[in-house]
């Protein structure tokens, strides 16, 4: 299904929910209420109706909530930034395997409190409230019944993801750029790519352009406008237009405008460039794995 054939009402409902989140944060003057991956989850669940995400609605609430709480706790430990990210990724893989889930946005909700240094209880309350709402709407609309899906856990893929991600963390840390260790939307898409049976080079390029473009949209919008709510209102339709032109559906792309408005200044300034480098590394690695390494492993 292509983006333009999706219902306008689904887009209005989804974008309205995201704007409500940003508006609430603006009124309460609490930036920790803004959760970029809620934009991705909303798009994937309410608009694109991703079968793999709709599977077992209860996990929409408690799995991202658990990872967010774990990330919040890890952030309070006296560890370096790179070690925190590495520890979180390891725990995330273990949790997904234990709960037999492929809900990729759970990575982002776990990473976010470390990336933005969340310290307020409002962060936990927000993640609980917004994910609960997402789950209830899915259940009430019976979206999980309309798009049945049986999740299968590929432990080899989990290991490949962890190795490639930890190698990235190590390299950027050695280069003195630990803040580049984790770009949540990129890791979410990378995890999903590894689950697919094949990954053409053309799709890799499209996804690189889409995510780098979405990051640039968020960066430029927030550089020009001193209003988080206005940036969200303008940037979300622009991201939709970009994905429409590229003819791709990437829920994680919608997280970038919100990520841009909450990142620390140093990370914000380099967001488009870091996204380009990260997508080149991760999607390039995914392409090599899918095209050359996986066939050899399967043939054994």
C-alpha–C-alpha distance, residues 300 and 295, integer Å: 9
Please tell me the total number of residues recorded for the chain in this structure.
Answer: 300
**First vs last Cα of the chain: how many Å apart?**
35
CA 111 to chain CA centroid, nearest Å:
9
Yes or no: say if 165 and 187 are a contact pair by the CB < 8 Å rule. yes
Q: Kindly list the distances between the CA atom of residue 270 and the CA atoms of 122, 204, 225, 285, in Å, as whole numbers in the listed order.
A: 28, 22, 18, 22
Structure tokens belonging to residue 137: 């709407």
What pLDDT does 5 receive? 53
pLDDT value at residue 6: 62
Q: Which 3 state secondary structure label does DSSP give 176?
A: coil
Torsion of CA 63, 69, 75, 81, to 10 degrees: 0
pLDDT at 83: 97
The domain spans of the chain are 3-299
DSSP secondary structure letter of residue 196: S
Along the 300 residues of the chain, how does pLDDT read in single tens digits? 344 456 888 899 999 999 999 999 999 999 999 999 999 999 999 999 888 888 888 999 999 999 999 999 999 999 999 999 999 999 999 999 998 888 889 989 999 999 999 999 999 999 999 999 999 999 998 887 776 666 678 889 999 999 999 999 999 999 999 989 999 999 999 999 999 989 999 999 999 999 999 999 999 999 999 899 999 999 999 999 999 999 999 999 999 999 999 999 989 999 999 999 999 999 999 999 999 888 877 766
């Amino acid at each position: 299904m292509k983006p333009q054939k999706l219902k306008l009402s689904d887009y209005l409902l989804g974008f309205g929910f995201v704007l409500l989140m940003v508006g609430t944060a603006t009124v309460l003057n609490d930036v920790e209420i803004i959760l970029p991956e809620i934009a991705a989850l909303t798009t994937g669940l309410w608009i694109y109706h991703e079968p793999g995400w709709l599977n077992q609605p209860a996990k929409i609430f408690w799995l991202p909530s658990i990872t967010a709480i774990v990330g919040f706790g890890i952030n309070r430990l006296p560890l370096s930034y790179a070690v925190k990210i590495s520890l979180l990724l390891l725990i995330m893989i273990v949790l997904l395997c234990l709960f037999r889930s492929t809900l990729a946005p759970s990575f982002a909700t776990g990473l976010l409190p470390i990336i933005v240094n969340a310290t307020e209880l409002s962060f936990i309350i927000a993640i609980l409230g917004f994910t609960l709402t997402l789950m209830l709407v899915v259940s009430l609309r019976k979206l999980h019944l309309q798009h049945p899906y049986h999740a299968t856990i590929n432990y080899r893929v989990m290991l490949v993801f962890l190795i490639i991600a930890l190698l990235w963390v190590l390299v950027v840390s050695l280069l003195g750029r630990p803040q580049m260790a984790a770009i949540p939307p990129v890791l979410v898409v990378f995890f999903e790519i590894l689950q697919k049976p094949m990954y053409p080079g053309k799709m890799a390029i499209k996804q690189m352009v889409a995510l780098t473009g979405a990051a640039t949209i968020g960066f430029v919008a927030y550089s020009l406008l001193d209003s988080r709510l206005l940036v969200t209102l303008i940037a979300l339709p622009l991201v939709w237009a970009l994905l429409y032109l590229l003819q791709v559906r990437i829920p994680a792309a919608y997280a970038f405008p919100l990520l841009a408005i909450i990142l620390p200044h140093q990370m914000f300034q380099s967001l488009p460039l870091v996204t380009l480098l990260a997508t080149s590394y991760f999607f390039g690695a995914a392409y090599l794995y899918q095209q050359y390494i996986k066939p050899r492993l399967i043939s054994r």
